[in-house]
Chain A
Amino acid sequence: MTTGEEQIGWSRDEMAQRLALDIPNGSYVNLGIGIPELVAKFVPKGRTLIYHTENGLLGMGPSPAPGTGDPELINAGKRQVTAIPGAAYFHHADSFAMIRGGHIDLCVLGAMQVAQNGDLANWSTGEPDAIPAVGGAMDLVAGVKSVYVITQHCTKTGEPKLVDRCTYPLTGRGVINRVYTDLAVVDVTRDGFRVVELAPGVDFEYVRERTGAPLLRSAPLATGQCHEHACGCDAKRRPV
């Protein structure tokens, strides 16, 4: 690393790239605001994903070239986007019918806290003077087939985000399937958090110390990512 501070684990782009490897070809995907948006940059060659944005577009494309944007063509983060050939527009009730009706394959969200039972908190700190705002997160976690979280493993002040029980107000109960952090890929299982992959240079103990709940080890643990394939398979990952 060329930065003054030693960087441990994956960068945001690398986290997004790692997650993108796991999205099957042909999936309908909803990406939340923030780090989740980065995932679209890293879809492996040969795979086509269709992006849903809940304000009413299926087939969302990248940002427009400077000067060509349309203020009436935006994403859920209210940023200008484009529509791919084959895109469709629809109203909000139809958009959330896609979400609640189980038609979207995957959504990727940010998190304040994820609990070992899959509970998610990502909309409010619950502080008295906070302006509560929820948007579509509660609908997404209730209806989308798989819900992944992408987030830093700890807060800026070093508190674990993977916890025993969420202390912030919940977005949904038992809704998260998998978490991608700067340190590891962690499945939410019936038995709790299970590490399925460690970032390069990170060992299990390091992750365990920064996790607020018991952490299981899947055997054999893999590290790094699949550089050989575009398929996201585990075959070429190096066991620890």
Chain B
Amino acid sequence: MIDKRYQSAADAVADVPDGASVMIGGFGEAGSPIELIHALIDQGARDLTVISNNTGSGEVGLAALLKEQRVRKVVCSFPRTANSTVFPDLYRSGKIELELVPQGTLAERIRAGGAGIPAFFTPAAVGTPLAEGKESRVFDGKEYLMERGLRADFALIKGRRADPYGNVVYSKTARNFGPIMAMAARVAVVQVSEIVEAGALDPEVVVTPGIFVSRVVEVASPMHESELVATGATYP
């Protein structure tokens, strides 16, 4: 009997070790798994490498994890928001390392990692500072850069519904990095608003098949970053 349900966000992240690489889903606040991130803050793991499109806003969720100085390095495409100084302050004071990756290259590195592809060639960033040190090759008269697939120890993802087998559907543009991060992580942890019984999700519309997911946890009323930031909330 397969049952990937965990009782709480704390249980679901309890074994993340120091030094782990952690993919964190979300584009801005859409799809940001705030409850899982807060559970990771409570759990105490440090020296983490975080792979995520952004670096959070205000002082909640991902920004709070950074502010607690649990993260050694971020792999990120856009580490800047209008309403957070957490990452810029850490970066300028040399307390965090940044690997800047074009957004589509980041997505494809994660997809490739999850699909067993160690490297691929992309036209993005050719001729720019982000090409420095990268192998390039010409195919059909056009130059491409070699990029490596990315894998991680854990992924923290937000979905809409899941079943005990780990099949997941998402909500609108909160889908973003969820499906590919689930593929690329050794342990993918998905928080959803609702866990339904097996058979309740139409197999035709399942977005992430359960084979890519290790743990599902129900967070019935997830918080939204913008609402927390608007009230000046901080975590912990």
CA distance A78 to B224 in the complex (A): 13
Contact B130 A173 (CB under 8 A): no
Given A92-B177, A100-B123, A138-B128, is A131 in contact with B87 using a C-beta cutoff of 8 Å?
Answer: yes
Q: Say yes or no: A133 contacts B127, CB within 8 Å.
A: no
Chain A residues lying within 8 Å of B207, measured Cβ to Cβ, are 91
Could you say which of A54, A56, A99, A169 has the most chain B C-beta atoms within 10 Å of its C-beta? Answer: A56
B residues contacting the other copy or chain, number (CB 8 A): 52
Cα-based distance from A71 to B170 in the complex (angstroms): 13
Interface string of B171-200 (1 = CB under 8 A from A): 111111111100000000000000000000
With A99-B104, A100-B124, A134-B102 already in contact, the answer to whether A170 and B129 are too (CB < 8 A) is: yes
Say whether B78 contacts A93, CB under 8 Å.
no
Q: Which B residues are in CB contact (< 8 Å) with A99?
A: 104
Name the residue in A54, A131, A138 with the highest tally of chain B Cβ atoms < 10 Å from its Cβ.
A138
Output the nearest chain B residue to A83 by Cβ-Cβ distance: B172
Docked CA distance A139–B124 (Å): 5
Among B8-16, B59-67, B107-115, the one that faces the other chain is B107-115
Interface stretch among B23-31, B38-46, B133-141, B213-221? Answer: B23-31
Q: Does A204 contact B (CB under 8 A)?
A: no
Distance (Å) between the CB of B67 and the closest chain A CB? 16
A23 within 8 A of B: no
Task: Report the separation of the CA atoms of residues A71 and B32 in the bound assembly, to the nearest whole angstrom.
Answer: 11
Given A131-B88, A139-B105, A143-B123, verify A93-B77 contact (CB < 8 Å). no
Say whether A92 contacts B107, CB under 8 Å: yes
* Interface positions of A from 218 to 239, Cβ below 8 Å from B: none
Q: Which residue of B lies closest to A71 (CB)?
A: B224
A-chain residues with CB within 8 Å of residue B69 when the two chains form the complex: none
Number of interface residues of A (CB under 8 A): 40
A133 and B99 CA atoms in complex are apart in Å by 10
Is the CB–CB distance between B91 and A131 below 8 Å?
Answer: yes
Interchain CB contact under 8 A, A131 and B173 = no
CA distance A63 to B115 in the complex (A): 36
Tell me whether A93 and B30 are in contact in the complex, defined as CB-CB below 8 angstroms, given that A136-B103, A139-B104, A171-B128 are known contacts. no
Contact partners of A73 in chain B: CB under 8 A: 30, 172-173
**Chain B contacts of A89 at CB under 8 A?**
170, 172-173, 175
Cα(A136)–Cα(B125), bound, Å: 10
A6 within 8 Å of B (CB atoms): no
The reply to whether the CB of B201 lies closer than 8 angstroms to some CB of chain A is no
| Cβ contact within 8 Å between A91 and B87 | no
Interchain CA distance A143-B102 in the complex, whole Å: 13
Chain A residues within 8 Å of B179, by CB: 91, 93
Q: A91 to B177, Cβ gap below 8 A? A: yes
Complex alpha-carbon distance, A91 and B177, angstroms: 6
What residues on B are CB-neighbors of A96 within 8 Å?
103-104, 107-108
**A91 near B103: Cβ-Cβ < 8 Å:** no
Contact with A along B198-229 (1 / 0, CB 8 A): 00000000010000000000000000111100
Interchain CB contact under 8 A, A139 and B92: no
> Would you call B28 and A172 a contact (CB within 8 A)?
no
Give the nearest-CB partner of A93 in chain B: B111
Report if B80 contacts A (CB, 8 A).
yes
Q: Which residues of A contact B172 (CB under 8 A)?
A: 57, 70, 72-73, 83, 89
A132 touches B (CB below 8 Å): yes
Q: Are A72 and B174 in contact (CB under 8 A)?
A: yes
| B128 near A78: Cβ-Cβ < 8 Å | no
CA distance A134 to B54 in the complex (A): 11
A-B contact pairs, 23 of them (CB 8 A): A54-B104, A56-B27, A71-B30, A72-B171, A72-B174, A74-B29, A91-B175, A92-B53, A92-B103, A92-B110, A95-B107, A126-B129, A131-B91, A133-B80, A134-B78, A134-B130, A135-B78, A135-B103, A136-B104, A138-B130, A139-B103, A142-B122, A170-B129
The 10 A-B pairs with the shortest beta carbon distances in the complex, nearest first, are A96-B104, A139-B104, A173-B127, A78-B28, A92-B107, A93-B111, A72-B174, A136-B103, A142-B123, A138-B102
Interface residues of B (CB under 8 A from A): 27-31, 53, 77-81, 87-88, 91-92, 98, 100-108, 110-111, 122-130, 170-180, 207, 224-227
Chain A interface residues toward B at CB < 8 A: 53-57, 70-74, 78, 83, 89-93, 95-96, 99-100, 119, 126, 129, 131-139, 142-143, 169-173
